[in-house]
Amino acid sequence: MKFSTENDLNELLNSLIIPYKERVPDVYRIINGMLEKGMISKEEDIINDHIAFRTLGLPYLGITSLEKIFLHYGYEKRDYYFFPEKKLNAFWYSHPENKYPRIFISELRVSDLSQNAQKIIQKYTKNINSDPVDNIDFKNVSEVSDFFTSALWELPTLDDYQSLLEESEYAAWVIYNRYYLNHFTISIHDLPEDYNRLEKFNDFLKSIEIKLNNSGGEIKESRDGLLKQSSSVAGKVRANFLGSEVIEIPGSYVEFAQRLVLPEFSDLPLSKIKKDHRRDGFETGNADKIFESTYESQQLK
């Protein structure tokens, strides 16, 4: 039985964004820049296209665990995606109420990693022998939101983090950051005419010194040409490892998406265009490159 209400979902989504904004200074820089340019009159004018989470594909963890939270709040499971090179699975989720952002959850195919990497991950997750989401009281929104920043395993050692980093930067990110919100996404097509194209918005981002992920080009475009995405490069966060070792590692980032109108609705006037008239879902090729927003190769460029 679902106990959620609209207020519960609003509260949960807001609670996820608050710590995310504190970890990602680029968010404030972008919002302030948008205000100065008159793209928005207040922060609440920004439409959030989707939010994303990274997980480990292990028993009691991964997509089948984390999705329970969003399914409880009324989300519906949609398409599956597979990323062979990065060894990832993913699904996205939509809510019947169009005002809510899409959810994108990915998981690392741990069994596809080397024995050494699997051994490191198992070292931290071996004591998880039941689904931690099943222990959450969904009627208590604060408890649900706290889960995303709670430690499911002990802090990794710096040696273990760096060993994982050599094989899978995704694995290293998750073993330290856990379920922290990986990114939120500004809906570019909902902005005023001067900035509702991703090319123009990217120019604005560069003018306020936001570093863009250039893997596959600054703009990643779907095969049908109807979904364009770009993203900032994740800034560094101070990371405290087991044994009191401290270094800076990639945190979270900001994504930007432009969803074009579907061909069958191209004759509709702009004032009549709704969310349902635009390209929905995601694109494997785009997402594959967006994942690299936390990669060292982007940090160092």
User: What tens digit of pLDDT does each residue of 100-156 get?
Assistant: 999 999 999 999 999 999 999 999 999 999 999 999 999 899 999 999 999 999 999
Residue 184's pLDDT is 96
- Tell me what pLDDT residue 169 has: 97
| Residue 245 C-beta-side C-alpha neighbours within 13 Å | 13
Bridge partners (DSSP) of residue 33 are none
Please report the pLDDT score of residue 300 as a whole number. 76
* Contact yes or no for 169/140 (Cβ under 8 A): no
* pLDDT tens readout for residues 191-216: 999 999 999 999 999 999 999 999 99
For the cut 70, the answer to whether the pLDDT of residue 255 exceeds it is yes
Rounded to two decimals, the pTM is 0.95
The amino acid at residue 206 is K
Helix axes 25-37, 6-23, angle to 10 degrees: 100
Q: What is the pLDDT of residue 270?
A: 87
**HSE (side-chain half, CA atoms, 13 Å) at 178:** 14
Beta strands 48-56 and 183-187, pairing class = antiparallel
Per-residue pLDDT of 140-164, as tens digits, reads 999 999 999 999 999 999 999 999 9
Tens digit of each residue's pLDDT (9 = 90 or more) over 216-249: 999 999 999 999 999 999 999 999 999 989 999 9
More confident residue, 3 or 77: 77
Confidence category of residue 180, pLDDT binned at 50, 70, 90: very high
Residue 179: pLDDT band by 50, 70, 90 thresholds?
Answer: very high
Q: How close are the terminal C-alpha atoms of the chain, in Å? A: 50
Q: Residue 253 region, left (φ>0) first, then alpha (ψ -120 to 50), else beta?
A: beta
Q: Are 249 and 236 in contact (CB under 8 A)?
A: yes
Cα–Cα distance measured from residue 295 to residue 210, given in angstroms and rounded to the nearest whole number = 16
Q: Which residue has the higher pLDDT, 296 or 70?
A: 70
Res. 168: pLDDT tops 60: yes
Tokens encoding 78:
């949609």
Q: Are the beta carbons of 89 and 96 closer than 8 angstroms?
A: no
38: confidence class by pLDDT, cuts 50, 70, 90: very high
Give the pLDDT score at 3: 46
- pLDDT above 60 for 2: no
**Residue 301 pLDDT > 50, yes or no?**
yes
> Taking Cα atoms as reference points, which of 163, 35, 159, 49 lies closest to residue 104?
49
**CB half-sphere exposure, 123, CA atoms < 13 A:** 16
Residue 47, judged by CB atoms within 10 A of its CB (0-12, 13-18, 19+), counts as middle
Structure tokens at 156: 């990794």
Count CB neighbours of 193 within 10 A: 8
| pLDDT reported for residue 7 | 87
Token pair 């504190």: residue: 22
Q: Are 249 and 179 in contact (CB under 8 A)?
A: no
Count of other CB atoms within 10 angstroms of residue 98:
9
Instruction: Please provide the average confidence, as pLDDT, over all residues in the chain.
Output: 95
**Packing angle between helix 169-177 and helix 158-167, nearest 10 degrees?**
150
> Which pLDDT value is given to residue 4?
54
Cβ(34)–Cβ(164) under 8 Å?
no
Confidence of residue 299 (pLDDT cuts 50, 70, 90): confident
DSSP, collapsed to helix, strand or coil, labels residue 18 as helix
